[in-house]
Amino acid sequence: MIIPSRLFEGDTIGVISPAGSPNRERLTIGIEWLKQLGFHVRLGAGSTKKYGYLAGSDDERLDDFHTMFADDSVRAIICSRGGYGCARFAERIDYELVRSHPKVFWGYSDITYLHTAIRQKTGLVTFHGPMLASDLGDPDAPLLSKQLFSQLFQPMSLRYDEHLSPLECISSGSSEGKLVGGNLSLLVSSLGTPFEIDTKGNLLLIEDIGEAPYRVDSMLNQLRLSGKLNQATGFVIGDFHQKNSDDPDSLTYQEVFQTYLGGLGKPAVSGFLIGHCAPNFSVPLGVDALLDADRKQLWIQPGVM
C-alpha cells in the first residue's frame, strides 16, 4: 500500500465535486473551517458547477480530479459532497498519475467508487470521512466529526468501542485484514466491472442510507452470490439509519445482517457511526485493522506517514 504524507499547517487542500453539486452556503462554511485550521484552499474549476444531478459534465469533473492530483502543491483532496456520478468516469482516470502523485483523498457515499478504484489500481490509502459541504459545512456539525480530521496531521491509530456508540455482535470472534468497503449500494454496483470490490482477506465495511431492509437484503445477497462475503475476514457494519420498515411483516436490519453474516464464522459487529450519520467517524481505507466482535472493539492503523 502507498501511505500518503501527513498534513502541516499552511498546506494547500484541493476541493473537488466528482459527483453532485454542493450547496454553496455550506461549501463556504466548510472552506472557512479549513482556513481556520491553517490551510490554504484551492477550489476545482468545476466544483460548484451544476449539470442536472451532476457537478458539471463528466469531462469537467474528471479534469478537476486529474488537476488536483497532478499539482504537487496540493497536499490533500477533499470531496465537497457525494450524490451520484463517480462511476461515470472511473475507467478514464489516469491511475498512473494518482500513483505517482500520492496524497490524502477524502470523502464517502458515492466517493466509495473512487476509493475502491484508486486502492485497487494504485494501492493508495484513502479516507472514508465527512465531506466539506454536506457534513463539515453544517453549522451544527458534531465536534467528533471535526476532531477526527486530526488523523491527517500525524500517524494516529484509531480505536472504536462502545464509548462512542452502542454496538451489537452479529457473529463472534476476531480477525485482521485491510479495511475496505464503504457505501453498500456502490460496492454492489462495482460487481462485474473492472473496479469490482476485492474482499479477499479483508475486513469489509458496509454502510448506507435510505434503503429499506429488503433492499439491504437484496444487496447482501448479491455480495453473497458473488463470493464477496465468504472471501472477507470480518464485517464492520456502519450506520444504516435503522428505522425499520413500516411494513409489520418486514424483517429488521439486524435480522437481515444475521441472515447473511451470522453463519459465516467470521466476526461481524453493527452500530458503528461510520457513514451517513452524525457524528461521522472517519477511517482510512486500505490499512490494517483488527475487529474483535466479542469485546466489540475495532482497531485501525494510521492512514498517513
Domain ranges of the chain: 12-152, 158-300
For residues 36-61, average pLDDT: 98
Cα separation, 251 vs 241, whole angstroms: 15
Superfamily of domain 158-300: LD-carboxypeptidase A C-terminal domain-like (3.50.30.60)
Domain 12-152 -> CATH class: alpha beta
Beta bridge partners of 270: 168, 237
pLDDT at residue 247 in the model: 78
pLDDT exceeds 70 at position 106: yes
What confidence score (pLDDT) does residue 284 get?
Answer: 99
- SS3 for 212? coil
Average pLDDT across the chain, whole number: 97
**Residue 156 clears pLDDT 80, i.e. is over it:** yes
Residue 17: closest CA among 84, 101, 72: 84
Average confidence (pLDDT) over 148-166: 97
- Model pLDDT, residue 245: 64
Quick one: pLDDT band at residue 249, thresholds 50, 70, 90?
Answer: confident
pLDDT in tens, 85-105: 999 999 999 999 999 999 999
Residues 202, 179: Cα–Cα separation, whole Å: 6
Kindly give the pairing relationship between strand 104-107 and strand 126-128: parallel
pTM comes to 0.97
Residues with Cβ within 8 Å of residue 285, at least 6 apart in sequence: 115, 119, 125, 126, 127, 128, 179, 180, 181, 182, 205, 303
Per DSSP, 2 falls in state B
Compute the C-alpha angle 285/290/293, nearest 5°: 120
Label residue 180 by pLDDT band (50, 70, 90): very high
Q: 178: how many CB neighbours lie within 10 A of its CB?
A: 20
Q: Do domains 12-152 and 158-300 have the same CATH topology?
A: no
Q: How far apart, in whole angstroms, are the C-alpha atoms of residue 111 and residue 243?
A: 24
Predicted confidence at residue 83, as pLDDT, reads 97
Question: Any idea what the Cα angle at residue 288 is, between residues 230 and 201, rounded to 5°?
Answer: 20
Over residues 33-38, the mean pLDDT reads: 97
What was the pLDDT predicted at 246?
A: 72
Where in the sequence numbering do the catalytic residues fall? 109, 207, 276
